[in-house]
Chain A
C-alpha cells in the first residue's frame, strides 16, 4: 500500500487478556518503530527494528510487551496479560535507512483495557 497500515484500528480488551497489534510498513522500508501514545501525551518510543533484527527495545515498559518482525516486513506488537495502564494509542512508523530520511506513521491502534 501507499502508507503504513495498522490493524485493528480499535481494540477493547478485558484486563488480563492478551492482544496482538499488526503493522504493515511501507514497502521497501528497512526501519520500523513502535510508539505508545497515552491520552494527552506525545508518543513514546517502544522498540526499533532494522529488517528482522530488533536493535533497540529500550522503551518496552515491561516483559509483558513483545514485538517481532520475522520476515523483515510486517510487525506484530503483543501485550500479554493486559492492564488498565496499557490503554493508549499504539503507533507504528517506518522509514528508509540513512541520516536524511523521515519516519512515516500509521493511523494507530487505540487499545482500551477494561
Chain B
C-alpha cells in the first residue's frame, strides 16, 4: 500500500530564512505527488503538484519541490519565508486511477519575526 511520511511534525523558522519540509513516499507504480497548505480554520489549498514532466515544480508564492525517484522524496523548499507562510503543510500521493489521495501527517511551519 502507498504511504507518505513527513519527517518533521513542526518546523520553527525565522522570517526571511530558508526552509525545507521533508516528504518521503512509498509507491511501486506511477507517482503523482502534491503539497497542500492549510491555514487555520480553512480547508486544504493546493500548493503545487508533480504529475509528469520536469521534476522541479514551483508555486506562485515562491515554494518549490523536486521529485526524486531514486530517493522516493518530494521535499518542499522556500529560500526566504514570510510570516504569512505560517500554516500546516501536507504532502500527498495519488493512489489508484482517480484522485484518491494518501496524506502525510502534516508539518506545522511556524515563522517567527
Contact = CB atoms under 8 A, between A and B. Distances in A.
Given A102-B34, A106-B43, A42 B105 contact: yes
A111 interface: no
Contacts of B99: 31, 33, 93, 95, 101-103
Nearest to B30: A99
* Most chain A CB inside 10 Å of its own CB: which residue of B46, B95, B98, B104: B98
Contacts, number: 63
A56 interface: yes
Interface residues of A, number: 28
Given A43-B90, A99-B32, A105 B102 contact: no
Interface of A: 4, 31, 33, 35, 40-45, 48, 50, 55-56, 91, 93, 95, 97, 99-108
